[in-house]
Amino acid sequence: MTGYILRRLVSAIPVLLGITVIVFLIMAMIPGDPATAILGSYATPENVARINASLGLDKPLVQRYFIWLGHMLTGDFGRSYALNRPVLDEILDRFSATMVLAGTSFVLCAILGVLAGVVSAARQYGWADRAITFVVLIGISVPSFFLGMMMILIFAVRLKWLPVSGMYAIYGGGDLADLARHLAMPALALAAVATGVIARMARSAMLEVLRQDYIRTARAKGVSETRVVLRHALKAAMVSILPVLGLQAGFVLSGAVYIEMVFQWPGVGRMLVDAILKRDILLVQGGVVFVAACYVVFNIAVDVVQGLLDPRIKA
Amino acid sequence: MSGFLKLLLRNRLAALGGVVITGIVALALVTPLLPLQPPDVTNTAERFARPFSPGHLLGTDNLGRDLLSRLLLGTRLSLAVGTVAALGAAVTGSAIGIVAGYFGGRTDNVIMRLIDMLMAFPYILLALAIVAALGPGLVNALIAVAAVNVPFFARNIRGLTVGLAGREFIDAARLSGLGHTRIILSELLPNVLPVIVIGISTTVGWMILETAGLSFLGLGSQPPQADLGSMLGEARAALITAPHSSVVPGIMIFLIVMSINLLGDGVRDALDPRLKSGALSRPRAATRVAREHVPEVPQQGVLDLQNLETQFHVGRRVYRAVNDVSLHVKPGECLGIIGESGSGKSVTALSVMGLVASPPGVITGGAVRHDGTDLLSLRPGDLRARRGAKVAYIFQDPLATLHPLFTIGDQLIEAIRSHRALPKAQARARALEMLEAVRIPNPESRLENYPHEMSGGMRQRVGIAMAMINEPEVIIADEPTTALDVTVQAQILSLLDELRRERGLAILFITHDFGVVAQLCDRVAVMYAGRIVEEGPTMQILDAPAHPYTKRLIACVPELGGGRRTLAAIPGLPPVVDKLPEGCAFAPRCAKAQEACRRGEIALEGAAPRAVRCLFPEEAPT
Amino acid sequence: MAVSALALCAASPALAQTPAGVLIVGQIAEPKSLDPAADTAVNDFRILVNLYDGLVRYKSGTLEVEPALAEGWEISEGGTVYTFTLKEGVQFHDGTPVDAEAVKFNFDRMLVEDHPYHDTGPFPLAFFFSAITQTEAVDARTVKFTLNEPYAPFLSNLAYPTGLIVSPAGVKAGGKDFGRSPVGTGPFKFKEWRSNEAVVLEKNPDYWDGAPELEALVFRPITDANTRVAEMLSGGIDMMVEVPPTALAQFRTQDFKLAEQAGPHVWFLILNMKDGPFADKLLRQAANYAINKKALCGDVLEGTAAVSNGPVAPAFSWAYDDSLEPYPYDPEKAKALIAQSGATDLSVTFYVTEGGSGMLDPIPMGTAIQADLKAVGFDVKIETFEWNTFLGKVNPGLEGQADMAEMAWMTNDPDTLPFLTLRTAAFPDQGGFNSGYYSNPEVDSLLEEARKETDQDKRGALYRKMAGIVHDDAPWVFVANWKQNAVTSAAVSHFTLQPSFLLELGKVTKA
């Protein structure tokens, strides 16, 4: 297993290197530069040149790429000019916030989605199935930012049940209950789409599995129906649900961009959008590489779990 | 009938989606003809007029423009954008996927690595970066949305193509000298097209959402042009003051995406042949029973099937898989049921404990008596308590019938603990004992094995052990040796025979092979087209088959050492059981059939213990 | 589970109550830095002015300069030497004295390339002080600046946040990270900066100009305007700036107070005078007549702006010509002018930004402008760009690309805007921002003259004359002067918005 993980990690290196090239080129191609972003209306060519030189942007492209890559390999992601602090500090700060949000959402959508799919499959064409199918369809048919905005309007502004935005109360907060209050709306809004996708996938995977001969065998043994569904069928269905979970993790991470903007969550998605708009090159590059690396690692983890779940897959 | 209704109801959802989206598309198409207010004329004094204001049915937006006309034009544009983006992503992605899958090797490797990179790149940022690089505008947003969805198609289609590229017809095409382009276009494409269509139908909605998302970030259409996303984006600033200006486009997006999704599901289901056959509906815990009356006949033997009728209801068709079958088996006796595939023998066996998949299976008549009770009238819990404990099954192909993800030990222990509250250690000891009883070497270590780690013969021994583990009174063995080679088959048969004699088991043995019947069964029943056509003691029937069909079946068995006898396969195919001919079902294939055979019901009759369903039975050799 | 989570949250009372004595301000973005020499954005300035003082500052309610850390100053006869006398006994928050050496340190850090702390930059707005050739600490309380030539806006630039004085000891301790651990002299001291959540300042009880009433200030970055409004409505913040015009109606209740202040801001359309229809003065004037500026300011901006008459903002009262009438909304006159010009090709490419410093509501405004121009016969095609791309497109000049572009400036001196955008010597290829290529020798010489004139009345007259000429030449469509707004909860008092757009909170109280 360790060997397998190592092999997968090694094979991820070219992918990550490719991503460094893509993100670097994109940032080089986008019109506008950090100097314009810093100086705004005062961006005279002279001032721009001075600032670009002080940021090292006057060097040739290829040289800049290798300087950046070299520094990054030593753990130095550079300094964000727009936030005036080391890129890595900012990413780590922001990333932990995103992990709380996206992680909660992901757990929420994985549990709710699989549960909905299982119930829906086990009660196929029953009222529970129809209700779930309907709710799930709503979930995947509404833009998440719209859902978020509506939630703020209803639960925060009108009913005043929940705080509008942010991660912790500015004063007197900081505990888990406070975090939960701030997390409730964004996590649900973010989970909606993925829950829908997972529920649909889980439903059809369960239906597929429930048709299998080994399910009939379990029934012929006299295994109770609950156990047939939750143990025999679900475990087998998880084999095809897991890759979807892996894929959805990527979508949740991306969808976090909108949700973080609407709910002012101090996460990495919003950071990257701001950074692109401010042409904060090093922050964008570092952030994207970091997010991509997490995505890759997460998918390796999914494959490993898959291997543990299904002994037929040779690890 | 009700299963059919349910399927229809499901289609009704898709139909609803179809109606809504057709309505929206129709509206979008006739929009230019409608007497609408000009969409771009501003009248800031009348901004944010509420819905149903005079002159503005849906009110006005932040510049006092008519929301209704903007909504309709925006819908038009958004639908077009979503469709074009989905098509663009599908065409590009599928092309990449087919090329990668078809050429394989390094091409595949390089392409898939690139796709991996795109997948690992957070998709919104990719879209954002593309739009930032190309400049804003609906066309560029469309390109961005399409681009970020290319990997989805590329991966799916590649997987499919890899599977197809190795198939014979592709090799054949290659050998016949067709060029790569021809092969891809004429051989591969038609085969992956349904999946592409399914992909498109399920992503159009997603594309509209994503374009709306980009517009939300301010990267969509250029003013004054309206698309739904930019309408939402422009109205957002007034969400609290004038919610109607965001709710109107919001609801339209919702309606479009929802109806497209419903329709997409319908399309997917329609293109998936398994759903039509009912294969994607969930089988219930026990076969549905819908009998008009229960025969009140005293029980014979330990298990008694009385006038059993099992049907499959698929759509409007009714397949009469088991038709008025009566059988019984005594303790220590082995009854064989023999017939070609499709003769209804397996369905008969599965009907006993309600294991026929339902839907589409329904038991429509008769009774199954055991211990004096009718198993078919038991409540689910009581039926479950007897499954495996009183009547156990051994199935064909244990690779498919043993759960692939649990160890042998787990599955055996579960079988015990489903019926007895035994501590795990004791259950384990019992499992070990049973593995020894079926002569599995190193049983201790085998407990930790998964099914795929064992040979076919070993797996079937496990299947037998699992059936025997609760010491049932009856074992129903459904072609247990079919998948095995001849030597292993002989071992399994002798094992079964031994167990039966030692433990006084009653065995119902399903097979299509008279050779197997000869080795094990005391009596045999021959089934054809869901009915018993002949029954009697094995030896007598082997010696003197009365039904022409039985005779042909026996003729199919090669005699050991006797070289080939008249190993003539039976010409023709068994009838489809939803259109049974009148009279004898075998008549169309029977060399001796006469006019009378094709008319009226033919009874199963004869002097006990034999019976035959034939007007002109074979003469007993004298 | 989700439902129970909601229920749990709903059960906890006292939501959305901000503590007494603490003012929570909804900001529009995370600050870049709290080092005044490094900042460029108004958003950051709003925090800085509460942390620091400059040598001079704007007198409350005006854009006129008054003493702050300096108790007075002298300007030499030729206008090239400025000598400041510092107040006695003022200390930085870290206890070090505000002396002449400290002031010298501040300016040398920005301007002298081999200064040991020059590398704590970059200092993008250092060119505000590029006229300084030398800064001398004459004695502990006397600082002398020598300029390369007379430069009238110098005092005003010193009052601008770039001129705020930081603690040399703080810079030495913080190095490049000084912006995250700022030390100044202001009414509030830096307490903490929770990245992307809040910047917290606490009361400086020893403030030389009287200790503030509030115990603490919290600046929360809330980039999304809707979310900011929702926070304000739900009581999560006590004050928000830059209220979106559409949301204003929500705050016209007794739970809130609305503050408004016109500032030194001009919102205009640059017209390309080199090629395309607007090379013709008649068509430029036609555009000025065709656009309904009253509707833009009154309806689209909900009264948060006033119609502009020229390149000088009314906030510079001493330089503003209030007798100059804005172009009225007169589509008929516009059509007549178009007919008179004989132009046939009226297609116009219009650069619009999605948002940016001082740009107000650029897309709705651009769209309404497009509709107005269309009504008189111009065929306007909008291209929108996100702010930085937009600047990258507009600053190099519109020639060959576009005929019209939105633009807005906020300045601290009436000189800045025309000097950078209306002179012949400010064409884009010469490093200026005259992206529409306006060139009038009379305007050029008036601006040069005004720059060297240290007498404010005389300067004002020069600007008024300049504004009249520009108004008639119509190199721009003069659209709006922004009235900045802020909303506070009813509990907040003694708050006034300053014309400088700075957010001074030293005197504010909260019940």
B431 to chain A, any CB pair closer than 8 A? The answer is: no
For the cut 90, the answer to whether the pLDDT of residue B345 exceeds it is no
ipTM of the modeled complex: 0.81
Model confidence at B558, in pLDDT bands (50, 70, 90)? Answer: low
The residue of A164, A182, A284 whose CB has the most chain C CBs within 10 angstroms, and thus the best one to mutate to test that interface, is A164
pLDDT in tens, B176-193: 888 888 888 888 888 888
How many Å apart are CA B419 and CA B415, to the nearest integer?
Answer: 7
What does the pLDDT read at residue C79? Answer: 87
Mean pLDDT of A136-143: 82
Instruction: Name all domains of chain B by residue range, CATH numbers in brackets.
Output: 2-32+66-271 (1.10.3720.10), 280-328+344-377 (no CATH)
Supply A310's token pair.
Answer: 């299904």
Q: Which H or E run includes C144?
A: strand C142-147
Q: Where are chain A's structural domains?
A: 97-266
DSSP reduced 3-state for A308: helix
**Residue C13 CB contacts under 8 Å (≥ 6 apart), including other chains:** none
DSSP 8-state class, residue B438: T
Angle ∠(B607,B609,B612) on CA atoms, nearest 5 = 60
Model confidence at C5, in pLDDT bands (50, 70, 90)? Answer: very low
pTM of the model: 0.80
Q: Indicate left, alpha or beta for B600 from its phi (over 0: left) and psi (-120 to 50: alpha).
A: left
- Contact list in C for residue A166 (CB cut-off 8 A) is 197, 220, 236
Beta-sheet strands, E only, within B225-316 = 288-289, 303-314
Mean pLDDT of C468-496: 93
Q: At what angle do helices C456-473 and C441-452 cross, to 10 degrees?
A: 160
C246 to chain B, any CB pair closer than 8 A? The answer is: yes
For the cut 90, the answer to whether the pLDDT of residue C269 exceeds it is yes
A313 to chain B, any CB pair closer than 8 A? The answer is: no
Report, at the CATH architecture level, how domain A97-266 is classified: Orthogonal Bundle (1.10)
Q: Tell me if C5 and A184 make a contact (CB, 8 A cut-off).
A: yes
Q: Tell me if B240 and C367 make a contact (CB, 8 A cut-off).
A: no
Tally Cβ neighbours within 10 Å of residue A171. 15
Q: How many CB pairs under 8 A join A and B?
A: 211
Q: Which residue from A83, A164, A168 is facing C197, i.e. has the nearest CB?
A: A168
Contact C178, C171 (CB under 8 A): yes
Q: Which residue from B42, B135, B222 is facing C368, i.e. has the nearest CB?
A: B42
Q: How many helical (H) and strand (E) elements, i.e. helices and strands, does chain C have?
A: 14, 20
Place of tokens 């930790």: B448
Contact C326, C309 (CB under 8 A): yes
Please name which of C418, C381, C415 lies closest in space to residue C401, comparing C-alpha atoms. C381
A220 to chain B, any CB pair closer than 8 A? The answer is: yes
Please name which of B246, B199, B212, B217 lies closest in space to residue B78, comparing C-alpha atoms. B212
Q: Which residue from A43, A171, A184 is facing C395, i.e. has the nearest CB?
A: A43
Q: Which H or E run includes C24?
A: strand C22-27
pLDDT in tens, B227-267: 888 888 888 777 777 888 888 888 898 898 888 888 877 77
% of chain C with per-residue pLDDT over 70: 97
pLDDT in tens, B352-379: 888 888 778 888 888 888 888 888 888 8
Beta strand pairing call for B506-511 and B523-528: unpaired
A305 to chain B, any CB pair closer than 8 A? The answer is: no
How many Å apart are CA C329 and CA B34, to the nearest integer?
Answer: 33
pLDDT in tens, B152-173: 889 888 888 887 877 778 888 8
DSSP reduced 3-state for C492: strand
How many Å apart are CA B525 and CA B517, to the nearest integer?
Answer: 10
What does the pLDDT read at residue B395? Answer: 87
- Share in percent of chain B as helix, strand, coil (round to 5): 50, 15, 35
- Contact list in A for residue C33 (CB cut-off 8 A) is 83-84
How many Å apart are CA C84 and CA B330, to the nearest integer?
Answer: 119
- In DSSP notation, B512-547 reads S-HHHHHHH-SEEEEEETTEEEEEEEHHHHHHS--S
Model confidence at A134, in pLDDT bands (50, 70, 90)? Answer: confident
Q: Which residue from B45, B224, B239 is facing C367, i.e. has the nearest CB?
A: B224
CA-nearest residue of chain B to C364? B63
- In DSSP notation, B186-234 reads IIIHHHHHHHHHHHHHHHHHHHHHHHHHHHHTT-SPPTT---HHHHHHH
C389 to chain A, any CB pair closer than 8 A? The answer is: yes
Contact C457, C318 (CB under 8 A): yes
Looking at the DSSP bridge assignments, the partners of residue B370 are B303, B373
Among A39-43, A59-63, B37-41, C311-315, the least confident range: A39-43
What does the pLDDT read at residue C16? Answer: 47
B466 to chain A, any CB pair closer than 8 A? The answer is: yes
Model confidence at A231, in pLDDT bands (50, 70, 90)? Answer: confident
How many Å apart are CA B96 and CA B116, to the nearest integer?
Answer: 13
How many Å apart are CA B486 and CA B494, to the nearest integer?
Answer: 12
**Residue A26 CB contacts under 8 Å (≥ 6 apart), including other chains:** B129, B133
How many Å apart are CA C168 and CA C116, to the nearest integer?
Answer: 12
Q: Tell me if A18 and B114 make a contact (CB, 8 A cut-off).
A: yes
**Residue B511 CB contacts under 8 Å (≥ 6 apart), including other chains:** B336, B337, B338, B479, B481, B482, B517
φ, ψ (nearest 5 deg) of residue C261: -160, 125
How many Å apart are CA B429 and CA B437, to the nearest integer?
Answer: 12
Place of tokens 């429930």: A210
For the cut 90, the answer to whether the pLDDT of residue C77 exceeds it is no
pLDDT in tens, A276-300: 877 888 898 898 888 888 888 888 8
Q: Tell me if C40 and A152 make a contact (CB, 8 A cut-off).
A: no
pLDDT in tens, B12-38: 777 888 889 889 999 988 888 888 888
Q: At what angle do helices B123-134 and B189-216 cross, to 10 degrees?
A: 70
Smallest CA–CA distance, residue C3 to chain A, in Å, is 10
Beta strand pairing call for B531-537 and B611-612: antiparallel
pLDDT in tens, B63-86: 888 889 999 998 998 888 888 999
For the cut 50, the answer to whether the pLDDT of residue C2 exceeds it is no
Among B99-103, B147-151, B600-604, C230-234, the least confident range: B600-604
Q: What is the largest CA-CA distance in chain B?
A: 111
How many Å apart are CA C452 and CA A169, to the nearest integer?
Answer: 53
Q: Which residue from C247, C354, C372 is facing B240, i.e. has the nearest CB?
A: C247
C401 to chain B, any CB pair closer than 8 A? The answer is: no
What does the pLDDT read at residue A128? Answer: 81
- Contact list in A for residue B113 (CB cut-off 8 A) is 14-15, 18
**Residue C249 CB contacts under 8 Å (≥ 6 apart), including other chains:** B241, C302
CA-nearest residue of chain A to C5? A184
What does the pLDDT read at residue B272? Answer: 62
Taking chain C, what is the end-to-end CA distance rounded to the nearest angstrom?
40
Q: Tell me if B44 and C246 make a contact (CB, 8 A cut-off).
A: no
Q: Tell me if B281 and A22 make a contact (CB, 8 A cut-off).
A: no
Contact C405, C435 (CB under 8 A): yes
Contact C248, C302 (CB under 8 A): yes
Beta strand pairing call for B303-314 and B361-370: antiparallel
